[in-house]
Amino acid sequence: MRKWIIAAAAAVVLVGGAGTAWVVWGRGGSAAEPAGPGGGPAQESSAVPVEVGDITDTLVLDAVVREDPAKEVVSKRGGTVTRVWVGDGQEVDQGAPVATVRVQDGAPATGGQGAGGEDAGDTVPQTREVKLTAPVSGKVADLNGLAEGDPVDPGAAVASISGGRYRAVAEIPPNDLYRFYDDPEEITLKIDKGPPAEQCDLMALGEKDASSDTGGSGDSAEEDGGMPGMGVPGADSGGGDATAQLTCRVPDDMEVFSGVTGKISVTTGSSTGALLVPVTAVRGGTEAGQVTVVGDGGTEEVRDVELGITDGEVIEVTSGLEEGEQVMDPVPLDGDFDVPGAGDDADAGAGTEGY
C-alpha cells in the first residue's frame, strides 16, 4: 500500500513542481528581503525543544454517496425462456430463481440402433433447462418484458438485481497522498444535513481510474479493487486533479440516497510517546528531512532526520533527534527554494482535523 502512495506522490511532484519542502515554502523569502506568510516579514527563527507526546493524523475529505452497481442475471449459454419467476421491482433473496432458460448442450447425444445399425452416426440435439438465479439479494429490474418463448443470446443479461447498498467515495488531493502511511486506522462518514456520523469501513484505497465514468456507473470496487471515477462536488484538488480515491462502505442502517454529499474523516496514522517538533522546523515533509539543531554556545548543525506522521502542526521524528535537543523554528530559509511569494497558499490546507 505504501509503495503506490509514494509513487503517486512522486508523480505529483514531477508534474506539478510541488516539492516536499511545503512546510517551508509558505514562508518564502530572500536574503535581501525575506517574506513571511501573506507576503509580510518572515518570522524570526528561535530555538524550540524536541518534545515527547502523542500524535494523530486526521484528514477530512469531501465525499459523495453512490449506490452499488446492479448485478446482472446472465444466461451464459443462451436459449429459449420457458418461465419467468419474478417481476420488475420485486424483492428477492440471493439465489432466488429469476428465469428458466432451455439451452442446448454443446455435445449432442448419439442416436440410432447402436453399432452396425442403419441409424448409426445420427445425432440428436440434447437440451436441458437452466434456472437463472439472483446473484445478490435486492430488487429486480431490467426485465424489459421478458416472457416465455423469448430467445436469449449467449452471455445476454435477462435482468439485474439492485442490492440497495451504498458506498462513499472521496478523492484524495495529490499533496495529501503523503499523509497516507498505510490503510487508514479509522474512517467516519458524516452526511451533510443527514443522519449522525457513523463508522465507514474501508472498501478500497488506490489509484483513480481515469477511464471510468465520473457518474459512478463503473464496476464494484469490492470486485476488482479499482477505484471508479466518481466525481466529488466541491472536492479540493490540492493544486491538481486527484490521482487517488478512497471508498468506504456506508453502514446498512444509515439512511442515504445516491448523490448525497458529506465528509469523510480519516485517521491515517497515530503514535504515542513520539518525538515531536513543529512542522515549520523541518525542511521536508515525508519520510526524510532536515532540521537545524542548536548546540551548546549557540552553534548550529544541519542534521538529517527520518520522519513519521504529522497532524499539520507537529511532525514525528523517528530518527536523528533526542528528547530535549533544540531545533530552529522555523527552519532557516534556503536561498534556492524559499523565494518571496512561493507557496503562499501551501499552509492553508495543512492540519485539517475533525469536521
Q: What are the helix (H) ranges across 70-150?
A: none
Domain assignment of residue 215, yes or no: yes
pTM: 0.63
Kindly state the average pLDDT of the residues 183-187: 90
Domain assignment of residue 3, yes or no: no
Q: Is the pLDDT of residue 5 over 60?
A: no
Question: How high is the pLDDT of residue 3?
Answer: 53
Sheet with 151-152: list strands edge to edge.
Answer: 127-133, 97-104, 79-84, 151-152
CB neighbour class for 189 (10 Å; exposed up to 12, middle 13-18, buried from 19) = buried
- Is 321 in the same domain as 254? no
φ, ψ of residue 172 in degrees (nearest 5): -100, 115
* Percent of all residues in the chain with a pLDDT value above 70, rounded to a whole number: 66
- Tens of pLDDT, residue by residue over 83-110, are 999 999 999 999 999 999 999 876 444 4
- Note whether 54 and 273 are within 8 A (CB): yes
Among the ranges 166-170, 227-231, 236-240, which has the highest mean pLDDT value?
A: 166-170
- Is 158 in the same domain as 137? yes
φ, ψ of residue 175 in degrees (nearest 5): -70, -20
- Is 84 in the same domain as 140? yes
Question: How high is the pLDDT of residue 43?
Answer: 63
CA distance linking residue 219 with residue 231, whole number of Å: 15
- Is 262 in the same domain as 286? no
Residue with cell 429469476: 98
Q: Is the pLDDT of residue 71 over 70?
A: yes
Average pLDDT of the chain to the nearest whole number: 77
Question: How high is the pLDDT of residue 225?
Answer: 38
Kindly state the average pLDDT of the residues 102-121: 56
Domain assignment of residue 12, yes or no: no
Q: Place 332 in a pLDDT band, splitting at 50, 70 and 90.
A: confident
We report the CATH number of the domain holding residue 173 as 2.40.30
- Is 245 in the same domain as 328? no
CA distance linking residue 29 with residue 334, whole number of Å: 9
277 lies in which domain range?
Answer: 31-56+272-349
We report the CATH number of the domain holding residue 145 as 2.40.50.100
Q: Is the pLDDT of residue 305 over 50?
A: yes
Q: What total of structural domains would you count in the chain? A: 3
